[in-house]
Amino acid sequence: MKLLVLAIACIWTIPAGASKLVGATVPPYPRGMTSDLASCIPLNGNICAYSIATLNREDGSVVAVLAKPLAGLDDGKPVWEIVDEHEAPEQSREQLWAFEECQIGAQSDSSVVGLVTFRDMGGWIETEETVWAVRFDIASNRLVELDPANVTCVLPGS
């Protein structure tokens, strides 16, 4: 009986939406999940040695951000090892994910992804502010949440 109570207590402490993908090699992703947005992070001449990417439900909603070094190629397609993941905040209708176009201060950083608010300008959209951001710190293989006040992200084509 004590073992059953302990098992139930452990299940209740697992955060909702936690995917436990650290250590997994992808693709394939877990059933019902995809990775729809990503940014390559170059290192030592390899243009896509690392990647920061989303983990998405079938409806496209982002549930987590993944940190992934390149593990190799399978039939010419990249295979990644997930070394860290960070739960994504809820996204409102007035927000979009920004990849590849983020800066910390005045320094561009391809290892940063942000959630930004935007304004529809009637044919194009303009970024207003970064409301959440995370950076893949390659040295530690960790995703580090950033103060969005120090991060500026733009949307491609905006």
pLDDT digits (tens, 9 = 90+) for 20-65: 899 999 999 999 999 999 999 999 988 999 999 999 999 999 999 9
In a domain, 147, yes or no: yes
In a domain, 13, yes or no: no
Looking at the DSSP bridge assignments, the partners of residue 149 are none
Predicted TM-score of the model (pTM): 0.83
Least confident of 5-9, 83-87, 108-112: 5-9
In a domain, 146, yes or no: yes
In a domain, 69, yes or no: yes
Predicted pLDDT of residue 19:
53
- The domain total for the chain is 1
Looking at the chain, the whole-number percentage of residues with pLDDT higher than 90 is 73
In a domain, 4, yes or no: no
Indicate if the pLDDT at residue 4 is higher than 80: no
Indicate if the pLDDT at residue 110 is higher than 70: yes
In a domain, 158, yes or no: no
In a domain, 8, yes or no: no
Predicted pLDDT of residue 100:
84
Q: How confident is the model at residue 124 (pLDDT cuts 50, 70, 90)?
A: confident
Predicted pLDDT of residue 74:
94
Reported as half-sphere exposure (CB side, CA atoms, 13 A), residue 148 has a value of 15
Buried b (16+ CB within 10 A) or exposed e, 131-157: bbbbbbeeeeeebeebebeebbbbbee
Report the C-alpha gap between 158 and 156 in whole angstroms: 6
Predicted pLDDT of residue 20:
85
In a domain, 3, yes or no: no
- Residue 110 belongs to what domain range? 19-153
Tokens of 75: 């039939």
Indicate if the pLDDT at residue 9 is higher than 60: no
